[in-house]
Amino acid sequence: MSTMTKVFVVLTAVLSIALSCLFIAAAAQTANWKQLAQDYQERQTAEFTHRMNLQAIMEATLAMRDQQLQAKERDLVAAQDLATRQADELKQIQASLAREMNDRVAAQAGQAKLQEILGMQNAEVAALQKQNQMLLAQNIDFQTRNTRLNSRVLELTSNNTILTDQVRNLQEKLYAAEQQQVRTAGGRPAERATGVVAVSPNVPSPIMGQVVSVDGNYASINVGQASGVTQGMTFMVHRGSNFLADIVVDRVWPDQAGGKLKSIQQEIRPGDSVSTGWTTSGVSER
């Protein structure tokens, strides 16, 4: 066998081995490709399924979003209606507030007017109180003058009684002198002058006592029927030289009497003096 033949045989064997290796590799690679194709197919199927699921989920999500959006739109419409109602209520509240402000301004004006009227009335009351005090002082002065006039009347009455008594005594003396003259001359006794009447003084003495008890506007005194006290008699209550009040007697007992207080000037207390005739100088007037 020649060298060329040996080389050819060797080359043929090498090529056969190479081709066998290539076929084996191709067959192995084809199996791998089929496996890869199956894997790719399965992945594509899984991916398609996943995408379909995602699409279903997205559609469900979109549906839910649509529902939520519709609910939001309904809420928005309700909120707009509520805002409209609240705006109307706000307008009503503002109108009511404006009316209340007007009423408040009117009330403040009325209050100021009432305060002005009250001030005027207070001034009138103060003037009336001052006038009342002046009238009270005038009343006290009139009572003092009345007391003095009563004392003067009593004094004049006493003087008149004394003068009347003196006139009666002079008339009696004159009559006695005429009778003596007639007896001396031997004639008839002359008649007593017509119209000559003996006058006896009629000046009652004052009844004096003290206040025993005081109950409101009613007072009791320690003189009664035994001292000449009668119903309707008026006693003057005094403390020293100060006139306090009058007591008009409406109940009388043998040694006690009671009556209502009139013309009260000061507080009456037990122990204050009472009399049917009294002046600041201590002269009886009743």
**pLDDT on residue 285:** 43
Query: Does a structural domain hold residue 68?
Result: yes
Q: Radius of gyration of the chain from Cα atoms? A: 71
Query: Does a structural domain hold residue 18?
Result: no
Between CA 143 and CA 265 the distance in angstroms is 11
Which residues, including other chains, have CB under 8 Å from residue 221's CB and lie 6 or more apart? Answer: 209, 210, 211, 212, 235, 247, 256, 257, 258, 259, 274
Q: Are residues 100 and 225 in the same domain?
A: no
Contacts of the segment 97-105: beta carbons below 8 A, 24+ positions apart: none
**pLDDT on residue 191:** 47
CATH number at residue 246: 2.40.30.20
Which residues, including other chains, have CB under 8 Å from residue 281's CB and lie 6 or more apart? Answer: 151
Q: Are residues 181 and 102 in the same domain?
A: yes
Q: What is the mean pLDDT of each run of 10 residues along the chain (286 residues)?
A: 78 85 80 82 88 89 89 91 92 91 90 89 88 84 75 69 74 77 62 44 72 95 94 93 93 95 93 77 42
Q: Are residues 56 and 136 in the same domain?
A: yes
Q: Are residues 90 and 217 in the same domain?
A: no
231 HSE (CA, 13 A, CB side): 4
Query: Does a structural domain hold residue 92?
Result: yes
Q: Are residues 179 and 110 in the same domain?
A: yes
Q: Are residues 47 and 180 in the same domain?
A: yes
Q: Are residues 123 and 185 in the same domain?
A: yes
Amino acid at site 261: L
**pLDDT on residue 249:** 96
**pLDDT on residue 28:** 76
Among the candidates 192, 227, 255, a domain finishes at 192
Q: Are residues 45 and 138 in the same domain?
A: yes
Q: Are residues 148 and 268 in the same domain?
A: no
If one counts the domains in the chain, the total is 2
For 147, the domain range is: 24-192
Beta-carbon neighbour count of residue 253 at 10 Å?
Answer: 13
